[in-house]
Amino acid sequence: MLGAKRRELIALVGGAAAWFLAVAAIGAASAQPYPSRPITLVVPYPPGGATDAIARIIQDSMSQSLGQQVVIENIGGAGGMIAAGRAARAAPDGYTVLLHQVALAAGMTLYPNLAFDAEKDFVPIGLINTAASTLAARPTLPPNDIAELVRWMKTPGQNVKIAHPGVGSFGHLAGVLVAEEIGATVTHVPYRGAGPALNDLLAGVADLSSISAVVAGPLVKAGKIKAYAIIGRTRFIGRTRFAGLPELPTMGEVGYKKLDLDFWHMLLAPAGTPRPIVERLNAALRHALADGRVRKTFDEGGMDVFAADQQTPEAAGALLKRELKLWSEVIRANNIAAQ
């Protein structure tokens, strides 16, 4: 009898010891400094595009700062919303972050049945950059400057064809606002990406398009396309002219203040990510944006890095809030629907 009780006691003690060891192991794992393994950077478009390029510019420097590899995962579809939804559902532990841009703000209205909310389901990490765009045209378009272009667009019976990379893209939304502000009748022609839209502009099939300034610069100088103005540049950065095409005024300079638009990028994490982790990621992003090689790459690409005081999570959150309101109003006022 005594032997049986003793065996029972030994079993109980052994079980308790195993339980304490398991708890201790969990505690030790959770106490590991962040990050202790690679971090996935979700990019909402296929490789080769502007957003993917931004991820690759900051990838190495962020990896060095964090002491862990930042691994890029490209997830395309639904104007960047599929990737955003997946990132929103990820564990809020700092091991999944999302790189997104203007399309995130526009997508919240374009896709009304999304299973996530950009404001509620993400915590901003920091702002990265903006990029200038040009109001570009086919080389045979008659106007020679922005004033002539406005008059030409408003000529009775004139139906201007504006090419864009797809419904809800920055190029599409910028084109909608340009036509709205000028008061012109236009036909918006969607393409499967910026490349095909540019090809038809070069061929003279389309009349106008919003083209990245860094892409447009060499083409304008070679006489292959025309450009009339810079869309944006002043709202976030404070500069007015694009160094690659210094002769072009901004749309704001010529009186169209609502066309102070910028193609921005920011980093976000799933809601609930602890503040110390957000701050660690923000510090790594700041490290990358202060890196001389990174800044040189941005400069050569016609992109402006946000100033240090704008690289905070709070600044990113405020910008996202403003952009959600702006593009919601534009999309609803123009009855734009995702295809």
Checking if the pLDDT of 64 tops 60, the result is yes
Residue 16 lies in a domain: no
pLDDT score for 339 = 63
Q: Are residues 99 and 138 in the same domain?
A: no
Instruction: With 0.95 as the threshold, say if the pTM is over it.
Output: no
pLDDT score for 233 = 55
Q: Are residues 159 and 81 in the same domain?
A: no
pLDDT band of 312, cuts 50, 70, 90: very high
> 324 and 108 in contact (C-beta within 8 Å)?
yes
How far apart, in whole angstroms, are the C-alpha atoms of residue 135 and residue 211? 7
Q: Residue 176: count other Cβ atoms within 10 Å of its Cβ.
A: 20
Q: Are residues 112 and 208 in the same domain?
A: no
Domain count, the chain: 2
Helices (H), 90-139: 102-110
pLDDT score for 214 = 78
Residue numbers of the domain that contains 312 = 39-129+264-333
pLDDT band of 12, cuts 50, 70, 90: very low
| Out of 85-99, 198-212, 217-231, 257-271, least confident range | 257-271
Closest CA to 327 of 124, 117, 103, 45: 103
Of the three residues 225, 259, 293, the one that is the final residue of a domain is 259
Q: Please, what sign has the CA dihedral across residues 313, 318, 175, 193?
A: positive
Helices (H), 222-291: 275-290
| Out of 8-17, 186-195, 220-229, 248-257, least confident range | 8-17
Q: Are residues 214 and 287 in the same domain?
A: no
Q: Are residues 60 and 167 in the same domain?
A: no
Checking if the pLDDT of 32 tops 50, the result is yes
How far apart, in whole angstroms, are the C-alpha atoms of residue 324 and residue 120? 12
Q: Are residues 55 and 99 in the same domain?
A: yes
Q: Are residues 316 and 207 in the same domain?
A: no
Q: Are residues 118 and 139 in the same domain?
A: no
pLDDT band of 17, cuts 50, 70, 90: very low
Average pLDDT over the chain, rounded to whole? 87
DSSP class of residue 140? Answer: T
pLDDT score for 31 = 59
Q: Are residues 309 and 209 in the same domain?
A: no
pLDDT score for 261 = 78
Average pLDDT over residues 47-59: 89
Average pLDDT over residues 194-220: 91
Which CATH number is 206's domain given? 3.40.190.10
Of the three residues 234, 259, 284, the one that is the final residue of a domain is 259
Checking if the pLDDT of 90 tops 50, the result is yes
